Amino acid sequence: MQTTVINHVHFLFCASDAQKPLPAELLSRTWAYLGGVARKNGMLPLAVGGTGDHVHVLSSLPAEANVQEAARRLKSASAKFAAETLKCGFAGWQEGYGAFSVGAKELEGHARRIREQKEQHKTVTLPDELMELFGEVG
């Protein structure tokens, strides 16, 4: 039998300084860059988005992928991109991160949540969003 692994992960990480978020006009460039980082590391990005103070990446991971290493690569490359290419004063990401395993039936719901971040955060705070996510996996 051939090895088959289907591993979808919803990553979430926050800015290290919420007072210095990524500027709104640079978000789409940052999210596109994160998608490229994922692809370069053998991941298949399904949705990338967020707000200036946090990012969501929904991605499938290859069989040999380590979730911790995947998060580290996404965070470090995008922080470096913001600092060196965008030169926007972004302080980087917090040390921690969230990584939630997502089943095939929940993929579209997670992707929709990520695509609708700007609208969602008009009424839902980040702590409330985290509680919703923890509730989905808990």
Question: For the domain with range 7-132, which CATH number is right: 3.40.50.2000, 3.30.70.1290, 3.30.830.10, 3.40.190.10?
Answer: 3.30.70.1290
Per-residue pLDDT of the chain (138 residues; tens, 9 = 90+): 787 778 999 999 999 987 888 898 999 999 999 999 999 999 999 999 999 899 999 999 998 889 999 999 999 999 999 989 988 888 899 999 999 999 999 999 999 999 998 888 788 887 787 777 767 554
Scan for tokens 């298949």, then name that residue.
44
pTM of this structure: 0.88
Partners of 93 in beta bridges? 15
Tell me the Cα Rg of the chain.
Answer: 15
Q: In Å, what is the CA distance from 36 to each residue of 1, 48, 53, 77, 93?
A: 32, 11, 20, 10, 18
CA 76/CA 3 separation, integer angstroms: 30
